[in-house]
Structure formats: structure tokens, C-alpha cells
Amino acid sequence: MFSRILIANRGEIAIRIIRACREMGIETVTVYSEADRDSMHVRLADDAICIGPPPAVESYLNITNIIAAAEIADVDAVHPGYGFLSENSNFSEICHSCNIDFIGPSSESLLLMGDKARARKLAREVGIRILPGNDEPFETDEEALKLAHQIGFPVILKAAMGGGGRGMRVARNDVSLVNSINVARAEAQAAFKDPTIYIEKYLENARHIEIQVLADRHGKILHLGERDCTLQRRHQKLVEESPSPALNPEIRKAMGEAAVSIARAARYVNAGTVEFLLDAEGNFYFIEMNCRVQVEHPVTEMVTGVDIVREQLKIASGQPLAFEQKDVQLQGVAIECRINAEDPENKFRPCPNRITAWFPPGGPGVRLDTHAHAGMLVSSYYDSLVAKLIVHRKTRDECIVGMRRALGEFIIEGIKTTIPLYEQIFGHARFVRGLVNTTFVEDVFTH
Ligand code: ADP
């Protein structure tokens, strides 16, 4: 096992990794930008190294500085968390060339799955359904129109290198398609430095269901069941739960097996997530694989009892997975709310202010993953996630009651947060009955 690792991240996920390491007797060295000098992840790690000014490109995305920090700190491995460099094949390769293990999949898997069109091809080759679309990117508007007519409207334009819901546009006719192409390309270029986009059939009334997989270096691949991430805004997740109220045991089994076969075909190692869209008839379609720990991993941890970050560390150090698929049982129901420093009354505008009062909820079945506290300045340089509130109870109804209670006692002052939106969602009959789709939040609560 590693004796000392570098955490190339910040915020709640850096703390989550520190927690796993501390329980395993692994020393942690974290990096931080000048804006994060007083952050909780810096205080909680054994050591911390400043890697540059506040903008992420100069610090958390600065490979040269992070590798230099890893060398100075003399670590065995780097945990990239999520976001930032977590799916950067170049970064993982440089780590390896410096004799530092990268706690994640190989750079080949990252390259393959980082290109959504290649990932689609792979899924099709192993017999997993994908939505109709073009695997080769198109060049001209005419080509795009021809493809859209072949596929049939509505279609969705997506950035080939996309992530975080950016660079995505739904088009319902010729005019909106042509108008959307340039916007999607520009967004893709700005966000991913690559304007390549492709077209896919847009699935109406869909649910987003994803499968957590774990793969060791010895060829064993297991899955930890599903997470239902249907509640989204602008294709970005807000609420996640496990198990999904929309799956029966047959679909769950088929989806789990499909995820494992895709991971196997990609020669995947470490923790990863295979994402699907589910239609109203119970058909599911592969959309992408995320090659890192996910923001929403705690709901899976709560229902399976598996510590996913611990497993990541064990796998990266060469240990085999010590349990079998039959040992994975989903116990109870867990739901997570992503609490962002955003104003839901004002188009979800980020609120990067100082937190003046902070009283976190607790009690039975409540877990809070956060780096925030009273007095903390929410930085405008990074994402607006301030806490993940997770409730785990025996049944979905009890979980919803528990979440309402926990949201109600959470005191956060000085910033606006998404808590009022969640209070409305958790009181809405469609959510309570499990009858939602990916446009539910936008259709019902935001205009
Ligand atoms: P990203 O990598 O940016 O998160 P994904 O491919 O995972 O993008 O898609 C994010 C979300 O966008 C999905 O959960 C879903 O709500 C929506 N979406 C993506 N592709 C489709 C599609 N073909 N039809 C309907 N919705 C889609």
C-alpha cells in the first residue's frame, strides 16, 4: 500500500480523500492555490504545497507545478479527485513517467473514453444499445441537416470532448439545428479547447441512470448497482439516489452487466461510472463513461457499505478486489442533494460571498460531505458546490422525510444556496412518487 500520496484537488473531494487515507494510515499532501490558503483541505492534510495563483489554469490545472509538488513531497501516488486533471490522459502519463502512480485508469482508457464518439463505437461493438447518431464528427451545416433528417428530430448536439453538460444543444427542426451548431461549437471550443461536435437522437422523457464499476488490475470487474441522476438543470445533476425507483431487478441486472462489459472492453482499471439513458419502456442506451470518482459516489457508498475511495487506493496499489458480485447488496435508499452557492430565484447565479453562519444538519442517517464553515469565503474561481447532503434510510419514503427534515435545519447565511429549490422538489408529488424525467426541474421549477 502507498505510504504517502498527493491530492491534486480541493474542496470537499480533497477532504473525502484525506479521510480515506487517514483511516488507511496513508499520509496526505495536498495542493492549494493562493485563493485556498485558508481552506479546510489544507488544514486537514498532513502537508500542503502552494501551486500557484487562484485561476485554475495556473494552479489546479497546472501540470508542471503539480508534478513539481509531487516530486518535492516525495509521494508514491497522486489522487486527482474529480474535475480538474482527473480525466487528463497527458497528466496520468506524466505521473507514470515520473514513477508516481496515478490513482485512476490507464491513459489509454482515459483517451478512449474521453472521446465520446469513440466510446459510442466501443459500446456498439460489445452489443450495448446506443442512441442513433454519427460516430464521425460532421463538418458542414448541410451534413448536419442530412444526419438530423436520417436520425429524426429532436436531436442533440454534443461536444465530442464534453463534460458537465456544456456544449450541448437540443434541436427540434432545421432552423434551430443550424442556429445551434455555431453556439455548440463555440461552447465546446471555450470549455474543452476542441470545437468538435456530433449529433445524437434526443431521447424525450428519459431518466439518467448510471452504474458504478470497480475494476482491479487482475481482471476482476464488479458493479455496485445504479445511481438515478435524473434530477438535473441544464444537463447538470442536482439530486442523485440509489437504488433508482425506476428499475426492476431484470433491468438492474442487464444494466450492470452492460456496464461491466463496456469497462472490460475498455480494459478499464479503478473506479468508473457507465452512464445510460432509460426510456419509458425500460430500454437503456449507453451515453458515456466517466473515468474517475463521481461527485455522487456517496449514495452508492451508503447503500452498498463499500468505501469507494478506499477501493480506489487499494486497486491503484495493486491489491485485488476482496469481494464478489454476489456480496454487493443494496440496503435501504440513499439520496444526495448538491448544495450549491447559487441563487435559484435568480437564474442560479453563483453567489461567491462569505458564509456568515453555518449550522449543519445531523441526526439518524444524515451524512454531510463539505469543506465549508462559518467565515469561509466561497471563491468565485471554482465551482459553486458547498456541500453534499446525503440521507440514508430504510425506505424511499423515510429517506424523503429525512431529507426534508435535514434541509429544514441546515442554516447557511451570507450566501444564497439551492436549498429552497430542494425543499420544493422534495415536497412535489411527482418526485415523491418517483415519476420524474431529466427535464422535470426545468419544466416545473425554473423558467
Ligand atoms: P456530460 O458529459 O456533459 O455530463 P452526458 O452525455 O453525460 O454529458 O449527458 C448529460 C445529460 O444530458 C444527460 O444526463 C441527459 O439529461 C442529457 N442528454 C445527453 N444525451 C442525451 C440524449 N441523447 N437524449 C436526451 N438527453 C440527453
pLDDT, tens digit, 9 for 90 and up, residues 99-121: 999 999 999 999 999 988 899 99
- Cα-to-centroid distance, 87 and ligand 1 (Å): 18
Question: Each residue of 393-403: pLDDT tens digit?
Answer: 999 999 999 99
Ligand 1 pocket, residue 232 CB under 6 Å? yes
- What is the reported pLDDT for 206? 98
Q: Given the CA of residue 275, which atom of ligand 1 is nearest to it?
A: 7
Share of the chain above pLDDT 90, in %: 91
Q: Given the CA of residue 167, which atom of ligand 1 is nearest to it?
A: 3
Residue 354 gets which letter from DSSP? B
- What is the reported pLDDT for 447? 61
- What is the reported pLDDT for 117? 84
- Residue whose Cα lies nearest atom 18 of ligand 1: it is 235
Query: 4-103 architecture in CATH?
Result: 3-Layer(aba) Sandwich (3.40)
- What is the reported pLDDT for 116? 87
Ligand 1 pocket, residue 199 CB under 6 Å? no
- Residues 6 or more apart whose CB falls under 8 angstroms from that of 371 comprise 10, 11, 12, 14, 15, 39, 40, 41, 386
Q: Given the CA of residue 166, which atom of ligand 1 is nearest to it?
A: 3
- The set of cell numbers assigned to 410 is 441546515
Whole-angstrom Cα Rg for the chain: 21
With CA atoms as reference, report the closest residue to 200 among 160, 228, 142: 160
Ligand 1 pocket, residue 87 CB under 6 Å? no
Of the listed ranges 53-57, 192-196, 197-201, 204-208, the one predicted with least confidence = 192-196
**Confidence class of residue 166 from pLDDT cuts 50, 70 and 90?**
confident
- What is the reported pLDDT for 138? 84
**Confidence class of residue 162 from pLDDT cuts 50, 70 and 90?**
confident
**Confidence class of residue 410 from pLDDT cuts 50, 70 and 90?**
very high
pLDDT exceeds cutoff 70 at 437: yes
Question: Each residue of 18-38: pLDDT tens digit?
Answer: 999 999 999 999 999 999 999
What is the average per-residue pLDDT within 370-379? Answer: 98
In contact, 303 and 125? CB cutoff 8 Å: no
In contact, 263 and 271? CB cutoff 8 Å: no
**Confidence class of residue 438 from pLDDT cuts 50, 70 and 90?**
very high
The CATH number of 132-201 is 3.30.1490.20
**pTM, entire model:** 0.97
Amino acid letter, residue 63: I
With CA atoms as reference, report the closest residue to 336 among 405, 242, 411: 242
- Which residues does the annotation mark as catalytic? 292
Question: Each residue of 205-264: pLDDT tens digit?
Answer: 999 999 999 999 999 999 999 999 999 999 999 999 999 999 999 999 999 999 999 999
- Residue whose Cα lies nearest atom 15 of ligand 1: it is 235
- The set of cell numbers assigned to 10 is 480541493
- Residue whose Cα lies nearest atom 21 of ligand 1: it is 202
CA distances from 266 to 142, 219, 324 (A): 34, 12, 21
- Residue whose Cα lies nearest atom 2 of ligand 1: it is 163
* Averaged confidence pLDDT in the chain: 96
- What is the reported pLDDT for 136? 76
- The set of cell numbers assigned to 408 is 429544514
- Cα-to-centroid distance, 161 and ligand 1 (Å): 13
Phi, psi dihedral angles at 31 (to 5 degrees): -105, 160
What is the average per-residue pLDDT within 73-91? Answer: 98
- Residues 6 or more apart whose CB falls under 8 angstroms from that of 447 comprise none
Ligand 1 pocket, residue 131 CB under 6 Å? yes
Residue 245 gets which letter from DSSP? T
Residue spans of the domains in the chain: they are 4-103, 132-201, 207-444
Amino acid letter, residue 408: G
What is the average per-residue pLDDT within 10-23? Answer: 98
What is the average per-residue pLDDT within 57-63? Answer: 98
- Residues 6 or more apart whose CB falls under 8 angstroms from that of 172 comprise 153, 154
Give the mutation target among 279, 438, 440 for probing the ligand 1 site: most ligand atoms within 8 A of CB: 438
* CATH class for the domain made up of 207-444: alpha beta
